A and B are shown apart, each in its own frame.
Chain A
Amino acid sequence: MARRPEHQAPPEIFYNEEEARKYTQNSRIIEIQGQMTERCIELLLLPEDSPCLLLDIGCGSGLSGTVLEENGHMWIGMDISRAMLDVAVERETEGDLVLADMGEGVPFRAGCFDGAVSVSAIQWLFNADKKSHNPIKRLNKFFTTLFAALSRSARAVFQFYPENETQLELLTAQAMKAGFYGGVVIDYPNSAKAKKFFLVLMTGGSAPLPQALGTEETDNGLQVKYAKREATRGARGKPLKNSRTWIMEKKERRRKQGKDTKPDTKYTGRKRSGRF
């Protein structure tokens, strides 16, 4: 697996001018960020056809903001990297930008946003880049101030890359402590590449978590799973163990090796009757 940027340097240093430019010119990154933002908007469940005011946490060069604009929303972005924000200004995004550290709190008045999105940013909060940084304290500060800044019934959706199970637990526990409802939605859990984690947080009332993508077959239970396993076994060229075809193949192989083998009859591989 590629080295995680979080392990290389603090975000304000890692995303320097060069990295910011590289990031925004890479068509693959642009496409993936766009797709993930689309999915975030879907998970936000905003009222249909009405323009909303959204907060983009870790907006960077505004790649996600562009998608928000295309969907007709106004956005305000915050990011810790000056270089990334400079690129956003150059790209002439419609949203407004603020240079701020999410671990120090969300610097907005109570109840002003209809929703919040964040694409590949929140994993940075697990780092302690300075001596004074305490990840748990920063997470707590971030979630409590975010909860205040959202209007009631608003949602916050974070796409992120957790490093391990503990990070997932810590993140959801801190969000619940701040008053959010919700949890993690994992899209395509069985795929190594397409697998994506979304933390979906709700401010008002608990509603069922949205269905993750690529998990439809798990609903049909064990039966289907086994049927699928047997089908793949046949496709690989080896018959099911202890079946008649398996025995015939085994005998054939013995004959080819010149070993003493009983002839094939109608009784070969047949179950004994109950009378025996």
Chain B
Amino acid sequence: MKLITHNMLTSKCLKGVVTGYPLAINATYVKVTEVGFDPEFIGRVIPKLDWEVLWVAADSIGHSEGLPKTLEPKFEENEEFLKKAHRVLLEVEVEEGHLTCPESGRQFPISKGIPNMLLNEAEVQ
């Protein structure tokens, strides 16, 4: 699971959970794969992200090095920053571990890089 996905994933489908965001990451294995850099896409997607959540997530898996805690204005023109953001968003992947819902404490296992968000019958709204 890439951090861009984590930044958008919620557990609001659970019964009784209102926002279910952000999910806490508990990673046992993190992998870095190289992905082609597209500054236009990164520039377009950053305004949609919750930057603080991304920083905390990157920090919790030990990849926040050099990443600013808050977004600076005119980040689109800062190539170095875009490259860092690209690395954290698309190249760092959580392979094994689990996600935890902030409201109910329900854990969602991640195996082979795929988070399992399937619910059982009692948990469906």
Contacts and interface: CB of A to CB of B under 8 A. Distances in A.
Contacts of A97: 1, 113-114
Among A80, A99, A141, max chain B CB count under 10 A is at A99
Given A50-B40, A53-B45, A99 B116 contact: yes
A238 B90 CA distance: 68
Contacts of B125: 105, 141
Interface string A66-100: 00000000101010101001100100001011111
Nearest to B124: A104
Contact of B121 (A50, A52, A108, A130): A130
Given A86-B112, A89-B112, A104-B119, A98 B9 contact: yes
10 tightest Cβ-Cβ pairs between the two chains A and B = A105-B13, A51-B41, A100-B117, A96-B5, A112-B8, A99-B116, A132-B121, A96-B2, A108-B8, A109-B8
Nearest to B35: A94
A109 B50 CA distance: 10
Among A74, A97, A100, A109, max chain B CB count under 10 A is at A109
B21 interface: yes
11 contacts: A76-B4, A82-B114, A94-B35, A98-B9, A104-B13, A104-B119, A107-B10, A109-B50, A112-B8, A141-B125, A151-B48
A273 to B, nearest CB: 79
Interface residues of A, number: 31
B114 A99 contact: yes
Interface of B: 1-2, 4-5, 7-13, 21, 35, 38, 40-41, 44-45, 48, 50, 90, 112-119, 121, 124-125
A145 B114 CA distance: 21
A89 to B, nearest CB: 6
Q: Is the interface of A mostly helix, strand, loop or mixed?
A: mixed
A111 interface: yes
A89 B40 contact: no
B48 to A, nearest CB: 6
A51 B118 contact: no
A74 B5 CA distance: 11
B44 A111 contact: no
A179 to B, nearest CB: 17
Contacts of A94: 35
Contact of A51 (B11, B38, B115, B119): B38
Contacts of B41: 51, 53, 74
Contacts of B90: 74
A111 B50 CA distance: 12
B66 to A, nearest CB: 23
A97 B115 CA distance: 8
B40 A98 contact: no
Nearest to B42: A51
A82 to B, nearest CB: 8
A101 interface: yes
Interface in A144-176: 145, 151
A121 B9 CA distance: 21
Contacts of B38: 51
Interface string A39-69: 0000000000011110000000000000000
A99 B8 contact: no
B118 A100 contact: yes
Contacts of B112: 86, 89
